[in-house]
Structure 1
Amino acid sequence: MAELRTEEEQIEAIKNWWKENGRSLLLAIAVAVAAVLGWQGWQKRMEVQATNASITYQELVDAVLALRSAPDVDAQRATAEHLAGTLKGDYSDSGYAVLASLLMAKVNVDNGAFDEALDDLAWVQQNSEQEELKQLALQRSARIRLAQGDAEAARDLLKGGDAGYFTAAYEELLGDVLVALGEIDEARKAYDNALAAATPQAQAVLQMKRDDLAQGDES
């Protein structure tokens, strides 16, 4: 365009360029605007989802706390189960659903509903994006299996996972399971591992467990 000699030629060149490229330019602008508005709309929806999930989780916490003194425990438990189901069904990606499942597992354990608690913990292991929460759910599942008298299943769960973020708790629980199975030497090793990783406050109880073991050949 710099080589055109007159203003009329420049205007004519612009008109011709617009005829050839104007529609494509407008389409590109429209697509860009739609993308921006779509992104903003998505962000807004995510904010609303997160807020609603947070509110629902707080309602669940309140319902669980109310269970301790509720005159109609069954109704209050049904409310808690409904709220937890809502979080898992409508807000499964929020993170609150995982916390809700952990909370309901505790509620079910307190009420002796061990199978329901195991289902809650299995949901955490399948859906949580945080490895530490998966490990926590696995250890709690193993503890429930031990409480049910199925030490073999508890050991299988623990052997299928790893200590991860909870080394002391993992090794202590493994020691408890091995004691139940009569594998005293292996239990002693597990308690030693737990003692090495435990805080000073937790070491006293662990030492008592280890000292209570029947004497055997130490390796």
Structure 2
Amino acid sequence: MAIDDLLDEHEQSERVRSWLRNNGAGLIGGVALGLAVIFGWQWWQKDRQQSSEQANQAYEKAVASIAGTDLKKAEASVASLNGKQGVYADLAALRLAKAQVDGGQRDAAIATLRAIKPEPALQPVVQQRLARLLIDAGKHDEALRLIGDAKDSASLVIRGDAYAAAGKQAEAREAYTSALTGLDVASPLRRLVELKLADVGGTPPKSGDSV
């Protein structure tokens, strides 16, 4: 091997050692960070899976409790989910509220629905069910505030129901008529809304007429 080659190899090795002295800490830190991210992701995935399984088990337990005859026990079971199990808690509370209504406990169902802090996807369902119960309880104004300015057909029907229950037939007719614009002719709900509209002095459109 030529002297020049030995010098080149020596110079190269010195450059490598110099680079490692200057950048070694950063290199090691980068590797450590990369490993931390990988292991952290794996831990998070495993923890998430375990949490989901636990939430599902808690939900099934609550549903079984709701199916029983002791609604007080069911209330406690559902309450234990709140703030911990996300959408599972919301779904369990909706089931409990229905069981309470079926059991003649309207006010308890209202309290159950009020306590829900729903996921965005479930919020309209919770609001609509609560509004219907509030109308049944004679709290028309509160039901109207809850529905707000929602324009979907279900909300418009509820708004019409609130106005009708409050004796405001003109407002009820307007709400029902607006609801019909968003309902297909074949919709089972359409016939019911037409009956409601007629009940408050409105004239349901004939088939093929625009609303």
Q: TM-score range by the shorter chain?
A: 0.7 to 0.9
Residue 63 (1) aligns with residue 52 (2): no
Q: 1:161 to 1:59 in 2, by over 3 A?
A: farther
TM-fit CA distance, 1:18: 1.9
Preserved contact between residue 135 and residue 162 of structure 2 (Cα < 8 Å)? yes
Residue 105 (1) aligns with residue 90 (2): no
Q: What does residue 150 of structure 2 align with?
A: 162
Q: What does residue 87 of structure 1 align with?
A: 81
Q: 2:112 aligns with which of 109, 120, 134?
A: 120
TM-fit CA distance, 1:79: 4.3
Q: Percent identity?
A: 32
- Unaligned stretches of 5+ residues in structure 2: 1-5, 204-211
Whole-angstrom CA distance in 2 between matches of 1:88 and 1:48: 18
Whole-angstrom CA distance in 1 between matches of 2:129 and 2:96: 12
Preserved contact between residue 157 and residue 179 of structure 2 (Cα < 8 Å)? yes
TM-fit CA distance, 1:89: 3.5
Q: In proportion to residue count, which structure has more helix?
A: 1
Normalised by the length of structure 1, the TM-score is 0.77
Preserved contact between residue 102 and residue 137 of structure 1 (Cα < 8 Å)? yes
Preserved contact between residue 121 and residue 137 of structure 1 (Cα < 8 Å)? yes
Q: What does residue 56 of structure 2 align with?
A: 54
Q: Deviations over 1:11-70 (max 9, x none)?
A: 222222222222221122112111211111111111111122122222323332x33xxx
> What's the secondary structure of 1:89's corresponding residue?
coil
State the AA in 2 paired with 1:136: V
Whole-angstrom CA distance in 2 between matches of 1:185 and 1:78: 42
TM-fit CA distance, 1:172: 1.8
Q: 1:17 to 1:81 in 2, by over 3 A?
A: same
> What's the secondary structure of 1:128's corresponding residue?
coil
> What's the secondary structure of 2:167's corresponding residue?
coil
Whole-angstrom CA distance in 2 between matches of 1:20 and 1:152: 72
TM-fit CA distance, 1:143: 0.9
| RMSD, aligned CA | 2.6
- Unaligned stretches of 5+ residues in structure 1: 68-72
TM-fit CA distance, 1:98: 1.9
Normalised by the length of structure 2, the TM-score is 0.80
Whole-angstrom CA distance in 1 between matches of 2:7 and 2:115: 75
> What's the secondary structure of 1:88's corresponding residue?
coil
Q: What does residue 70 of structure 1 align with?
A: none
Which structure's CA Rg is the greater one? Answer: 2
